[in-house]
Amino acid sequence: MRWGLIAYGRIAKKFKASIDTIKEASVSAIASRSNYSELKTQFDSISIYQNYDELYADPNVDIVYISTTHNYHKENVIKALKAGKHVLCEKPLGIHPDEVKEMLACANQQQLFLMEAIWTRFLPAYTYMKACIANNKLGAIKLIKGDFSFDGRDSDSNTRVKNPALAAGAIWDVGIYPISMAVDIYDCQPTQVIASGFLDQNKVDVRSSLILNFGQSRQALIHSGIDLSTIHSGEIIGESQWIHMPEFWHGDTVRIGDWQNNQQYIFPVDLPTSFSYEIKACYEAINQGLIQHPKMSHEHSLIISEIMEDALQQLRTAHKT
């Protein structure tokens, strides 16, 4: 499977290093507007483009990985799909549910694979947690708690962390991880979204707490931010037992049990890098003729987007009063 990379920043560099370790995958092309000249001298065996459209048209590219800033995802995804390429797009897939719907419709029309790159869903510890739930080890799940916040107060105002023109904000950047976990476990749309938090002077969400109600006394408590460094803890609480996952979005530890009796398990990454799991997942799904992966479905991407939009609208409305 031959990959083309759209944009070549910090995440894309890690992604390429992951591809280089997988025998079924290779990087055929990179398109980058910011470091085109540097890449031309760095890579002899890879086609380097300054224009994204040239990469979409490259016949040696089977699948495109998109890691541009959030505001460009829709344009990049649709152009890649219409050029006949499969797509793995960094989260969030879109910055509005209407964008996500348009991308999913295009993937369906073109009958090409499209997946939002929430790599957490493919990691060993997360996979074990899902297996425990499927095997009813926790009983009925009633509460999910997820926290992901980092201290980005010193970030440059022009970066994707703070610049509203680049679709900055905590919910899109890191809140999506605990939201995704709640949607994955409950596997449905919440019946109610309650959001409270803070916006900066540019109306960028810097911290929020969400209550997601899923009916049948099932709830998720979600915290995200870009102004505080927090623990990044994930908790899944059932009627009989609970699971605690430190650094749930990329960690290797699962503790399961109750307060009197619990056991910790370690699930180290056994592929070359953490990105390797979602790369192999793309390869496996495409080989089966699928346009979505069952572990990160189109339906879930849309639900996640709808939750984020609902929460952001509540924060923006509250900010006006």
CATH number, residue 274? 3.30.360.10
Task: Give the tokens for residue 45.
Answer: 């065996």
pLDDT of residue 23: 86
pLDDT of residue 258: 96
Tell me, yes or no, whether 99 and 126 share the same domain. Answer: no
Dihedral pair phi/psi, residue 223, rounded to 5°: -120, 135
pLDDT of residue 230: 97
Q: Which domain holds residue 186?
A: 122-290+298-320
Tell me, yes or no, whether 157 and 97 share the same domain. Answer: no
Total number of domains constituting the chain? 2
pLDDT of residue 38: 92
Tell me, yes or no, whether 93 and 178 share the same domain. Answer: no
At residue 157's C-alpha, the angle toward residues 153 and 162, to 5°, is 70
Which residue, of 83, 98, 119, is where some domain finishes? 119
Tell me, yes or no, whether 91 and 136 share the same domain. Answer: no
Tell me, yes or no, whether 103 and 249 share the same domain. Answer: no
Task: Give the tokens for residue 218.
Answer: 């099932």
Which residue, of 64, 93, 119, is where some domain finishes? 119
Torsional sign, CA 291, 292, 294, 298: negative
Tell me, yes or no, whether 89 and 137 share the same domain. Answer: no
Tell me, yes or no, whether 224 and 239 share the same domain. Answer: yes
pLDDT of residue 321: 58
Taken as a whole, the chain contains a residue count of 321
Which residue, of 55, 84, 119, is where some domain finishes? 119
Task: Give the tokens for residue 128.
Answer: 């074990």
Q: What is the pLDDT of residues 218-250, one digit of tens each?
A: 999 999 999 999 999 999 999 999 999 999 999
Tell me, yes or no, whether 148 and 280 share the same domain. Answer: yes
- Residues of the chain with pLDDT below 50 are none
Tell me, yes or no, whether 310 and 200 share the same domain. Answer: yes
Tell me, yes or no, whether 132 and 55 share the same domain. Answer: no
pTM, full prediction: 0.96
Could you tell me how far CA 293 lies from the centroid of its own chain?
14
pLDDT of residue 61: 98
Q: Write the CATH number for 43.
A: 3.40.50.720
Tell me, yes or no, whether 134 and 111 share the same domain. Answer: no
Q: Enumerate the β-bridge partners of residue 63.
A: 3, 86
Tell me, yes or no, whether 96 and 229 share the same domain. Answer: no
